[in-house]
Chain A
Amino acid sequence: MKFQDLKNFFILIFFFTISLFFLINNIYAESPYFYSCVLAATPTVIQTPVVTITSVPTTVPTSTSFPTSTPFPTPTSLPNCQLKMGTGERTKADLVVLAEDYNNNNDFLAAVDKAVVALNKTNLGTARLGKINLWALMDLNQTFFKGFNCPTANGVTVACWDHVKAFNLAASKCGGDSYLIFNNDTHRTGSIGGISIWGGTYIYNFALDQPTVPHELGHSLTGLMDEYSFGIAAPAGAVAGLNCSELPSQSQTVPCPKWANRFPNVGCYPRCGFTNFYRPAVRSIMDRGGTGAVYDFNEPSLIDGWDEMLKLFP
């Protein structure tokens, strides 16, 4: 074999190896790997203002998610899961809306759009909402409701639904961390707009124009308590929760002792669920709905509730 032939052979092996490496790892000249690892890692090389690079992260996984084995397609293409809010990055908190008794996709998606509007009306802001993906699971054939009189351990009966089924569907189909069931008012009773347990919530269609979705997420995601009156004093051992205080301050406009150091601008107003607990603001979204309902969370709810809940999501 001539020297030239061997040289060509080695060059061929060299490029074959390189090509195989790139192919197996799904690396392309325009792939997110290059955007995130090559371009983002060498910003100083580019002298002129580069608009394209700063705009890339909206569709490209961040450097924290690299290297991954699934660089594309974008997460919005998850089968049956339609992204309605957020970027779709898998590192975010994923909330999945499940449909019950909707007759067509358009009605269901219009309902989910109302939820997005309601979330954007709150004071959660872009930083917090930016850590959340809201997905709609396009499966209208599921039922979840079990009845209005499900017993609980302490004798109280509550409306209930199949939580295990709902969570499994949300997690297995869309990678959900929590779920919201939207019921098309088929199991509606009175003026109840939504019901929550920690980890999931059940919301009626008629209530979607109200602050129902963010209020219920306050329960199901962050564990916030209601701030309206239950009409009774707290029984022994009742826990106030992070947005209520067991102890009053010397006046309503002075923060309750538990908030005095960290939230000097809040107050200490009588009634926070139980009549002998105290709330940090006159009105907040965790108060009752209907006339006078507001969309804003109070400061302890935002900082100790939402920020704490979202801190593990980049």
Chain B
Amino acid sequence: MAKIKIIFVIVVGFALTVLTSTYLSKSKINPSVSHAAVKVVLNQTPDYRLSLKSLSGESSYTSDYKLKIPFGYYNVKIIGDRGEELFSGKVEKNRVNFPPYEIDGAKESDSSVATLEPLKEMTLLLPYFKNGKKIIFFDENNLEKYQVDIEKIGLPEGFLKNLCGNGICDSGENVIFCYNDCHKK
């Protein structure tokens, strides 16, 4: 009987360890929800003041926002409910027009030069985190410019149900709950 007790304790302990470590490792990674985005539309004045125009959760892929931006940018960070940084990237704040590329018009003076002006409106598709609390915009000197509360942003109703069947094994899906997307093809 003592032998059985030992085996029981080992098996239960093992099962608990596996399941707990799976849960903890997932919590620690803080992955964004795939094919989900926070859509932020901001208005910007000519003197670079920001205001929120709209905010919503979307079923959408997102950009990486990792490109280097040479003509003025905001650093954007998504902060989690425990103050941790979940995402960071750069978004442009200016519209820069370059002169057209002429194929056979080898003229030497067309007086067209690059122009730069502040964007009037900025639309961002940022990754969606279940524990995302706020989005903060910083200027190039890392001074905070604007903050958007995203705690109450939800995804469209039936979001995960709609995703199953899109051919991609999205986060939250597995072979049990979405066999078509997640089984080995």
Q: Answer yes or no: B24 CB below 8 A from chain A CBs.
A: no
**Chain B: CB-nearest residue to A167:** B123
Interface size on B, residues (CB 8 A): 72
Smallest distance from the beta carbon of A235 to chain B beta carbons, Å?
Answer: 8
A residues 1-50 in Cβ contact with B at 8 Å: 3, 6-7, 10, 13-14, 17-18, 21, 23-26, 28, 30-31
CA distance in complex: A212, B103 (Å): 8
Tell whether B8 is near chain A: CB-to-CB under 8 Å. yes
> Is A77's CB under 8 angstroms from B168's CB?
yes
Note all chain B residues with C-beta closer than 8 A to A273.
113-114
- Take A17-B14, A164-B123 as given contacts and tell me if A226 and B99 are in contact as well, using a CB distance cutoff of 8 Å: yes
Say yes or no: B62 contacts A196, CB within 8 Å.
no
With contacts A7-B7, A154-B117, A163-B95 taken as known, whether A17 is within 8 angstroms of B101 at the C-beta atoms is no
Q: Is the CB of A116 closer than 8 A to any CB of chain B? A: no
Q: Is A156 an interface residue (CB 8 A)?
A: yes
**By the criterion CB–CB under 8 Å, are A78 and B168 in contact?**
yes
**Chain A residue contacts of B170, Cβ below 8 A:** 69-70
Closest CB of chain A to B121's CB: distance in Å?
7
Task: Known contacts A193-B101, A242-B70, A289-B103; decide if A69 and B58 are in contact (CB<8 Å).
Answer: no
Q: Which residues of B88-121 are within 8 A (CB) of A?
A: 92, 94-106, 108-115, 117-118, 121
B66 within 8 A of A: yes
Q: A198-B96, A210-B103, A222-B70 are in contact. List 13 more A-B contacts (CB 8 A).
A: A23-B175, A67-B25, A69-B169, A69-B171, A69-B172, A70-B169, A70-B170, A72-B169, A73-B167, A153-B115, A168-B123, A216-B101, A223-B69
Which 5 pairs from chain A and chain B are nearest by CB? A231-B109, A223-B70, A153-B117, A172-B60, A69-B171
